[in-house]
Homo-oligomer: A and B are copies of this chain.
Amino acid sequence: MSLTAPLRGIVPPVCTPLDSQGEVDTASLARLVEHLIGGGVHGLFALGSTSEVAYLTDEQRATALKTVVDVTDGRVPVLAGVIDTTTARVIEHGRAAAALGADALVATAPFYTRTHGKEIAQHFRRLRAAVDLPLFAYDIPVSVHSKLSSALVRELAEDGTLAGLKDSSGDEGGLRRLIVELGGRDGRENGPAPRFSVLTGSELTVDAALLAGVDGVVPGIGNVDPAGYVRLYDAARAGDWEQAAKEQERLVQLFAMVDVGPEADMGRSSSALGSFKAALQLLGVIECGDTAFPQIQLSDESIALVSGFLRAAGLTPVR
């Protein structure tokens, strides 16, 4: 499904179900894709941080992306993360994703090395030139330890390098400034980058982000409750901000599941991704809730807490 207009709506980062050997469970992944599309989402983001892309070998990445593309079968656009340290390596992932049928690429700034704005600009430009797919910049300082400046994003938006931004920086004020600079919530189509799409990864303030004028949302916990985010989105698009805020509050309560893992015993990634996968397993969507090695697995006690969060949010565990 080619991206001929700005991407809009709910675009969850698709979890990658693993079997007990740590290999991609394609049957579970197919069910997850159906769960998401059935929930009404407007696009899918494969091989993002929530997909545990950093833990997957190139072969596993290909298996996961191919599964998502094949099962989706053009019903919604599929964005593919091309996450690696620098340009040459990212281009290889980009070519692989294009060959597998991705509709767009999502790339971060260089990481591991210390980088600079001028380098980042060259990086995105060469990637765009090397792979003929719409390109989204993925601003995720918690992972890459640099922040994309507003000036850089604008420059790359205005010259057509970027089709959009996936903002996971948590800097809502900065994102608001960018939106205003691009023409504001009502004037983007007449602004300097009319086809540029602004997506937020800030899943706890989606009502606010939509009020501010973002085009779409990439909510990790949207794996668990895609229909909830779609309702939130529809309420906002209809101008029913009270209803949007109410739905957001329910999802904030559900999101608290990310803290079920005891802090002293496991990393943030282990706990949050573990809770999402445990929820999907409890809901019967995926077979096994394991996260990729070397993440620490949730205990049975933690999984029981996840079950409680699901019930409290009106979702019914089947196991």
Contact = CB atoms under 8 A, between A and B. Distances in A.
B205 A57 contact: no
Nearest to A144: B112
Contacts of A89: 55-57
Interface of A is mostly: helix
A180 B255 CA distance: 11
A171 B170 contact: yes
A256 B177 contact: yes
Given A113-B49, A114-B142, A55 B270 contact: no
B185 A269 contact: no
Interface string A90-115: 00100000000000000000111111
A190 interface: no
B253 A180 contact: yes
Contact of A267 (B114, B242, B255): B114
A264 interface: yes
Contact of A55 (B85, B114, B204, B241): B85
A203 B143 CA distance: 27
A35 interface: no
Contacts of A288: none
A99 to B, nearest CB: 16
A245 B172 contact: no
Interface stretch (A2-10, A36-44, A208-216, A276-284): A208-216
Nearest to A151: B259
Nearest to A127: B294
Contacts of A204: 172-173, 176-177
A110 B120 CA distance: 23
Contact of A252 (B85, B110, B180): B180
Contacts of A83: 85, 112
Nearest to A61: B89
A126 interface: yes
A265 interface: yes
A242 B292 CA distance: 44
A54 interface: yes
A241 B242 CA distance: 9
A131 interface: no
Contact of A294 (B87, B111, B112): B87
A160 interface: no
A88 B242 contact: no
Contacts of A267: 113-116, 119
A292 B67 CA distance: 34
Given A119-B295, A176-B204, 11 more contacts: A22-B88, A57-B89, A86-B292, A86-B294, A113-B143, A114-B268, A170-B170, A170-B171, A207-B211, A212-B245, A239-B242
16 contacts: A49-B113, A54-B85, A54-B110, A110-B294, A112-B144, A113-B267, A114-B268, A116-B267, A116-B270, A118-B296, A170-B172, A170-B173, A176-B205, A208-B211, A211-B241, A264-B264
